[in-house]
A and B are shown apart, each in its own frame.
Chain A
Amino acid sequence: EPEVTQTPSHQVTQMGQEVILRCVPISNHLYFYWYRQILGQKVEFLVSFYNNEISEKSEIFDDQFSVERPDGSNFTLKIRSTKLEDSAMYFCASSWGTLTTGELFFGEGSRLTVL
């Protein structure tokens, strides 16, 4: 069964460092998402991506964050200068349709620890 894969599964970094989280969505999917979950808290929407551009972003997704689809398969989340409060599990998800028409498929998550 096709799946969304994320790397790394866990990354530890120093505050101020840049981090890139990678995702390989399911191949025929058109909509891509990043979510984050701080330990013990609910999942939060970060950004949605369609047709090679951001379609929506949350207030959390400020200038330190960026997303790219550098080739036909990868979807990356870059955090430019990490802060302690960026420590969280980051989930990538993809879907062939919108939230109304397409089931969401999630990756297993990338745990980011900022020291």
Chain B
Amino acid sequence: KNEVEQSPQNLTAQEGEFITINCSYSVGISALHWLQQHPGGGIVSLFMLSSGKKKHGRLIATINIQEKHSSLHITASHPRDSAVYICAVGGGAGATNKLIFGTGTLLAVQP
């Protein structure tokens, strides 16, 4: 069983829709990262969370440490949001600088 599970694996949305991507993890962590991987392969950090909620523009990320669950929300989605969104967890006991990655959610936003 993967230590980090994301759902859905693939998501197609119409422009303007509200999007939610979920991440569940089974290990103890001190931080969760949401990353965006563009079609060309480059990776960009979106959020780093250890508790609560963060917002950046149209993106919102939440984490529930007790339930070992995080969500990434995109409001008013746009075709340029099309990418792979990756959840990665780390900073657990004995692994303070190691990230464990999910398999990613491939998002396609159609105009």
Residues of A within 8 A of B (CB): 31, 33, 35, 37, 41-45, 48, 50, 55-56, 58, 89, 91, 93, 98-100, 102-106, 108-109, 111
Instruction: Check B101–A43 contact: CB distance below 8 A.
Output: yes
Cα of A42 to Cα of B101 in the assembled complex, Å: 7
Min CB distance B66 to A, Å, is: 18
Q: Which of A37, A43, A99, A111 contacts B30 (CB 8 A)?
A: A99
Min CB distance B22 to A, Å, is: 16
Instruction: Check B97–A104 contact: CB distance below 8 A.
Output: no
Instruction: Check A99–B43 contact: CB distance below 8 A.
Output: no
Instruction: Check B97–A43 contact: CB distance below 8 A.
Output: no
Cα of A42 to Cα of B98 in the assembled complex, Å: 15
Instruction: Check A98–B43 contact: CB distance below 8 A.
Output: no
Cα of A103 to Cα of B61 in the assembled complex, Å: 15
Instruction: Check B97–A48 contact: CB distance below 8 A.
Output: yes
Instruction: Check A106–B45 contact: CB distance below 8 A.
Output: yes
Q: Which of B30, B41, B43 contacts A100 (CB 8 A)?
A: B30
Chain A residues with Cβ below 8 Å from B102 are 42
Chain B residues with Cβ below 8 Å from A44 are 101
B43, B48, B99 — most chain A CB neighbours (10 Å): B43
Instruction: Check B101–A99 contact: CB distance below 8 A.
Output: no
Chain B residues with Cβ below 8 Å from A56 are 95-98
Residue of A nearest to B2 (CB): A42
